[in-house]
Structure 1
Amino acid sequence: MKKHLWSTLAMLVMAFLALGSTDTTSTTPSTPKTPEQLRTEQIEKEFSAWDGSHRGLTQVIKKSMNDPKSYEHVETRYIDKGDHLIVTTEFRGKNAFGGVVKNSVIAKVDLNGNVVEIIAQSP
Structure 2
Amino acid sequence: MRVVYGIPQCDKVRKARKWLDEQQLAYQFHDYKQSGVDVALLKSWIDRFGWEQVINRRGTNWRRLPEAQRQAMGAEAALLAAIDNPSLIKRPILMDGELCLLGFDIDAWQDALL
TM-score of Structure 1 vs Structure 2, range by shorter chain? under 0.3
Structure ranking higher on relative contact order (CA contacts 8 Å, 6+ apart): 2
Larger helix share, 1 or 2: 2
TM-score normalised to the size of structure 1?
0.26
TM-score normalised to the size of structure 2?
0.28
Larger strand share, 1 or 2: 1
